[in-house]
Amino acid sequence: MFSSFHRTLARIRAVFHSNDLDRDLVLELESHIQILVEQHIRKGASREEAQRLARIELGGIAQLREAHREVRALPLPDAVLQDIRFAFRMLRKSPGFTTVAVFTLALGIGANTAIFSLLHASLWSPLPVSDPKEIFHLMRSSSEGDFAGESSYSYPLFQQFSKTAAPFGEVFATEVVGPRKFGLNGVSDQRIAGEAVSGNFFSVLNVGPIVGRVLEPHDDNVLGGNHVAVLSYALWRRRFQADTSILGKTILYDETPYTVVGVARPGFFGIEPGESVDVWVPTTAVAADRGWHPDPNLNWLRLLVLLHRGVDPAQAQAIFKAAFRAHVADVLLPSASPRFKQMLMAQHITVRPAASGLATTGREYEKPLLVLFAVVVVVLLISCANIANLILARNTARRHEIMVRLALGASRARVAWQLFTENLTLSLFGAFVGVLLSVWGTRVLVSLLPPSPVPMAFNLQPDFVVFGFTAAAAVATAVLFGLGPALRASRERLEMSLQGGRRVIASAWSGRLLLAGQLALSLPLLVGAGLFVETLHNLKSSDLGFHAENVVTFDLSSPKGTSEERVRQAYAEIKQRLESHPGVIVASWTPGVYGDGGWSGSADVLGNPSRGKDDDVGLIPAGPGLFECIGLGLLQGRYLNSQDQSEKPPVAVVNESFARHYFGSESAIGQHIKLGFEPQVVREIVGVVRDAKHYGVRARVWRMVYLPVWQGGSFFVRSNLNPQVLSCIIRADVAASDKVLQIDEIRPFEAVVNNMISQERLTALLSSVFGALACLIAAIGLYGVVAYSVSRRANEFGIRMALGAQRGDIRTLVLRQTLAVILSGVAIGIGGALVVDRLLSSTINGMLYGIKPTDVSLFMGSTVCLVGIALFAAFLPARRASRVDPMVALKYE
Amino acid sequence: MENKTEILRGTLDLMVLQALEAMGPLHGYGIAQRIEQISGESLKMNQGTVYLCLVRLLQKRWIKAEWGTSENNRKARFYSISKAGQKQLIEETENWQRVSGTIGRLLRLNETR
């Protein structure tokens, strides 16, 4: 239709000629009135009478002008600008309200933005490559689940998969990232994250160089390896000040020289969000140096595949599955042990989308972050309810102004829109402050994550997605808190308010509803926070079986090619030197006494065939004095000592669980066992120690065998010295023992233990903070609403007191009325909290620890706490109400 | 009240076009007068409402406007129907008759039952 097209154009034009058009209309209307007046005079009316009649016939000029403007022009530009200007003026006029509202909104929106940007950075943002959607992770899975981060493959299997996938995609490999030594001119001086990648890595991901070249397939196809390296842009800038002369120079990576051939383009950090890789080298080079290359039993590569467009991932999965089966049958099974055979047979391949990278770091935090996201959304809802309440009260105060505007010809829609613009302005302002808060908040959040061996590099620069989210949150917030009050205010009945001026209006009903809603939302947050805090407490106070206090630990590293004998002697010497200091109680070493991983194997008990072979035995090589050092209690027999190191006769110490399982009520001391990895050795059990949780608080207690075999590893030192003094002693002793050994970092053992529950600590801390925030906001809201209604009812109280009510009666009246709101809110809240409790303990399992289902004391505590806070918030204005002076209140009216 | 304006919007356009078609160029007062004459008491409205209708029709280019002098020597704006307006009037009239015919039949049908 041309006509509507013309009309739209005309309306747009009209926006710019508003004044001219207005003048024209006024002219027309004036002459219209004149004609009417003359007619009435002709009929015999007086001039005044005629003018009155003419105005009635034509209708209000102001309304007409306003309506004309709305019909002829777009409602948008000029009106909106005017509204925004007006909104700012109104907000400036009531700084108290504006500050409270903006601050509440900023907290709500800021918390949402912070959590969202973490989720976005760690899990949801696509890899910085050209086709992230076509990238899939090849995962080894079994009936027990995916091996997720630990899905690794041997080099021959990688080659097999590459061949299989050739028609429909391209398989590429990366090594599991770890921090390694790095340096220039033959001296390693820092640790960086490096990654060994297949030659097609960069071409598949379509990542180009900024200088030089990236790795190419020919770099990776020579057995023995082409020792070339590509640096990350970040490292190039940081370490080499973006100097192009680095090309062709030799760097040291993991004590091996590589020639730098190029620098990858800016923004590429590898395929693991949260970790930033700084150097890439060919897999073949790394494998050759470690002597790994062709071994089909050595799994060290992560495999990904870029599927060509249109290839069905399910079909690809089927093909990979078949290829895996064939490889297992042909290559692995013939030499596998029976148990290993069983494991292999149960495995298959899953193809999982990896558009956002492998995200192992992110996934670890996915659950807590999602829970926190839900929490902050609820906090934002509470803020919304709060501000809606404030605005309801404010609009009541502004009733007169609104009425005047309606009377002067503004349409109801126009008034509603104007009020909404004010709320939107408020909300956008809150969002702006919120973003500033979130930038700071996100950094705090990341600093709360446990220190990771690889530098964390979440891309926390707020980008368009995050800004889009914040903007959407702000608008949604404005709609939530602002639309209702705006519409409500615009529906006021004209006649009523123009006559009365200050009558008490029934905004109380929706206000109470909002209050009850806030309390109902706060309670589940409190209960949830309580659950997380209790979990953290349970984890912290749960008995690990050893004592980490007053123990420090440090790792030693030596250059490649240092003879084992030399290192061994150095260890013994360091122990001796350390223990010679007064204050140092005992020092020892072990490859790993706490944390992930660990070593397991089978044990055979001689002369007790009935129990058979068992694979589930944890093995820990323990240096002399280790038990004393970590405070692992002895139950029977003796600890390991330095004589046992000589291995004659071979001995072992077992734990309680082991002893109970194999020997029952009999004594384990003097029994003989044979371990799967050393079939020729028979060991005599010389001691039984307490059960300890070596693999984390949540892990089960294993049957353990502690061996006096030499494996090097980390040092542990128990002392009652000041940590700084101890550090100096350690550094001096290590340097004095052997110059080739380097200390990496001296850490309290407690910190290592605590790191294992850092996720729980983060969840508990943040959910408590947000729970408290929610209560605070709800309390402020309650205070505001009660205070407002009390001030409105001042003369009612005055009358009551004049009629004989005591101060206490007034206070009780206000509190009783508020208590009804509080209790109804809390009652709904208990329902919500029950749901949260159920959800946390079942669906999102693994987040809680040692919590009884529906902990009554927790529910009671939270409820009492919330009701207490709410009553306190209501008490202050109630007390003020009771101090109303009847004379003043009545005179005022 | 609100329902009345809803009905008005469509019919008023048609009535204004019809008035201009029948009477030639008219100013706002003339149009209002004409509509009141025809509808009598059945359509009570502020005369000013006509101007809202006129600006809409102008913008759709169904009518044209020119400044001139009124009978009592005042500056007034005279409106006349355009080609497009005439076409629209024919279309709308047919449409209106069809609808009102249908509704009329429907109402009669109910009456006879």
A282-332 pLDDT tens trace: 988 888 777 766 777 777 888 889 888 888 888 988 999 899 888 888 888
**Residue A214 is assigned to a structural domain of this protein:** yes
B78 pLDDT more than 80? yes
My answer on whether A385 and A520 are in the same domain is yes
Closest CA to A165 of A427, A349, A380: A349
B14 touches chain A (CB under 8 A): no
A893 pLDDT more than 60? no
Alpha carbon of A239 to those of A242, A250, A798, B21, B36: distances in Å? Answer: 8, 14, 76, 85, 88
**In A449-561, alpha helices (H):** 464-478, 484-490, 494-500, 508-541
Question: How far does the CA of residue B3 sit from the closest CA of chain A (Å)?
Answer: 16
Q: Quick: pLDDT tens for A94-111.
A: 777 788 888 888 888 888
Collect all residues of chain B within an 8 Å Cβ-Cβ radius of residue A7. 56, 59-60
A508 pLDDT more than 70? no
Task: Give the per-residue pLDDT at A756.
Answer: 74
Collect all residues of chain B within an 8 Å Cβ-Cβ radius of residue A35. 29, 70, 72, 74
Collect all residues of chain B within an 8 Å Cβ-Cβ radius of residue A71. 52, 55-56
Does the beta-carbon distance from A59 to B47 stay under 8 Å?
Answer: yes
Overall residue count recorded for chain B in this entry: 113
A497 pLDDT more than 80? no
Number of domain units in chain A: 4
Collect all residues of chain A within an 8 Å Cβ-Cβ radius of residue B29. 31-32, 35-36
**Residue A181 is assigned to a structural domain of this protein:** yes
pLDDT band at A797 (very low <50, low <70, confident <90, very high): confident
- Neighbouring CB atoms inside 10 A of A15's CB total 17
B33 pLDDT more than 60? yes
Does the beta-carbon distance from B28 to A28 stay under 8 Å?
Answer: yes
Q: Quick: pLDDT tens for A716-725.
A: 999 998 888 8
Collect all residues of chain A within an 8 Å Cβ-Cβ radius of residue B64. none
Question: Smallest Cβ distance to B52: which of A24, A36, A67?
Answer: A67
Segment A739-762 shows an average pLDDT of 80
Does the beta-carbon distance from A2 to B84 stay under 8 Å?
Answer: yes
**Residue A105 is assigned to a structural domain of this protein:** no
Number of domain units in chain B: 1
Interface test with B, best of A24, A31, A71 (most B CBs within 10 A): A31
What's the pTM? 0.66
Please measure the distance between the N-terminal and C-terminal CA atoms of chain A and give it in whole angstroms: 61
Task: Give the per-residue pLDDT at A230.
Answer: 93
Nearest CA in chain B to A59: B46
Tell me which residue has tokens 């979990």: A535
Inter-chain Cβ pairs, chain A and chain B, closer than 8 A:
76
Answer whether A587's CB lies under 8 Å from A625's CB.
yes
Interface test with B, best of A2, A3, A20 (most B CBs within 10 A): A3
Does the beta-carbon distance from B27 to A31 stay under 8 Å?
Answer: yes
My answer on whether A716 and A769 are in the same domain is no
Q: What range does the domain containing B74 cover? A: 2-112
Does the beta-carbon distance from A64 to B52 stay under 8 Å?
Answer: yes
Helix (H) or strand (E) holding A138: strand A135-142
Closest CA to A525 of A704, A767, A797: A767
A812 pLDDT more than 80? yes
Does the beta-carbon distance from B74 to A7 stay under 8 Å?
Answer: no
A872 pLDDT more than 70? yes
**Residue A106 is assigned to a structural domain of this protein:** no
Q: Quick: pLDDT tens for A591-640.
A: 877 765 556 777 778 776 555 555 578 888 888 888 888 888 888 888 88
Q: What mean pLDDT is reported for chain A?
A: 81
Does the beta-carbon distance from B55 to A71 stay under 8 Å?
Answer: yes
Interface test with A, best of B54, B60, B89, B91 (most A CBs within 10 A): B60
B9 touches chain A (CB under 8 A): no
My answer on whether A597 and A665 are in the same domain is yes
- Neighbouring CB atoms inside 10 A of A672's CB total 15
Q: Quick: pLDDT tens for A263-278.
A: 998 878 777 766 678 8
Q: Quick: pLDDT tens for B51-70.
A: 888 988 888 889 998 888 87
My answer on whether A520 and A403 are in the same domain is yes
Rounded percentage of chain A residues whose pLDDT exceeds 70: 88
Closest CA to A168 of A310, A332, A341: A310
Full 3-state SS string of A410-443: CCHHHHHHHHHHHHHHHHHHHHHHHHHHHHHHHH
| Residue A600 neighbours by CB under 8 Å, 6+ apart | A615, A616, A617, A618, A619, A702
Task: Give the per-residue pLDDT at A717.
Answer: 92
My answer on whether A327 and A366 are in the same domain is no
Task: Give the per-residue pLDDT at A755.
Answer: 75
A405 pLDDT more than 90? no
My answer on whether A195 and A326 are in the same domain is yes
pLDDT band at A773 (very low <50, low <70, confident <90, very high): confident
Nearest CA in chain A to B36: A57
Q: Quick: pLDDT tens for A472-489.
A: 888 888 888 888 777 777
- Neighbouring CB atoms inside 10 A of A703's CB total 20
Q: Which of A300, A324, A355 corresponds to the end of one domain?
A: A355
**Residue A431 is assigned to a structural domain of this protein:** yes
**Residue A123 is assigned to a structural domain of this protein:** no
The residue among A502 and A513 whose pLDDT is bigger is A513
Residues A569, A571: Cα–Cα separation, whole Å: 5
| Residue A614 neighbours by CB under 8 Å, 6+ apart | A602, A603, A661, A703
Question: Smallest Cβ distance to A64: which of B32, B48, B56?
Answer: B48
Question: Smallest Cβ distance to B47: which of A2, A34, A57?
Answer: A57
A485: preceding bond cis by omega (within 30 degrees):
no
Segment A33-51 shows an average pLDDT of 88
Region of A846 on the Ramachandran plot (φ > 0 left; ψ -120 to 50 alpha; else beta): left
B85 touches chain A (CB under 8 A): no
B8 pLDDT more than 60? no
Segment A339-367 shows an average pLDDT of 72
pLDDT band at A335 (very low <50, low <70, confident <90, very high): confident
**Residue A292 is assigned to a structural domain of this protein:** yes
A844 pLDDT more than 80? no
Question: How far does the CA of residue B27 sit from the closest CA of chain A (Å)?
Answer: 9
My answer on whether A666 and A767 are in the same domain is no
Task: Give the per-residue pLDDT at A149.
Answer: 47
Q: Quick: pLDDT tens for A679-696.
A: 788 888 999 999 988 877
pLDDT band at A406 (very low <50, low <70, confident <90, very high): confident
Q: Which of A52, A74, A96 corresponds to the end of one domain?
A: A74
Does the beta-carbon distance from B75 to A61 stay under 8 Å?
Answer: no
Task: Give the per-residue pLDDT at A499.
Answer: 47
Residues A769, A115: Cα–Cα separation, whole Å: 14
Collect all residues of chain A within an 8 Å Cβ-Cβ radius of residue B56. 7, 71-72
Residues A335, A348: Cα–Cα separation, whole Å: 19
Closest CA to A705 of A726, A683, A721: A683
Binding-face residues of B in 39-68 toward A, CB within 8 A: 46-49, 51-52, 55-56, 58-62
Q: What range does the domain containing A178 cover? A: 134-355
Question: How far does the CA of residue B100 sit from the closest CA of chain A (Å)?
Answer: 24
My answer on whether A350 and A407 are in the same domain is no
A14 pLDDT more than 90? no
Q: Which of A355, A376, A391 corresponds to the end of one domain?
A: A355
Segment A443-466 shows an average pLDDT of 63
The CATH number that applies at residue B83 is 1.10.10.10
Does the beta-carbon distance from B55 to A67 stay under 8 Å?
Answer: no
Instruction: Tell me whether 0.95 is exceeded by the ipTM.
Output: no
Question: How far does the CA of residue A21 sit from the closest CA of chain B (Å)?
Answer: 10
Task: Give the per-residue pLDDT at A501.
Answer: 43
Distance of alpha carbon A449 from the chain centroid: 9
Nearest CA in chain A to B77: A28
Question: Smallest Cβ distance to B77: which of A4, A10, A28?
Answer: A28
My answer on whether A474 and A422 are in the same domain is yes
Task: Give the per-residue pLDDT at A280.
Answer: 92
My answer on whether A45 and A65 are in the same domain is yes
My answer on whether A413 and A349 are in the same domain is no
Does the beta-carbon distance from B46 to A58 stay under 8 Å?
Answer: yes
My answer on whether A332 and A206 are in the same domain is yes
Question: Smallest Cβ distance to B70: which of A14, A31, A57?
Answer: A31
A457 pLDDT more than 60? no
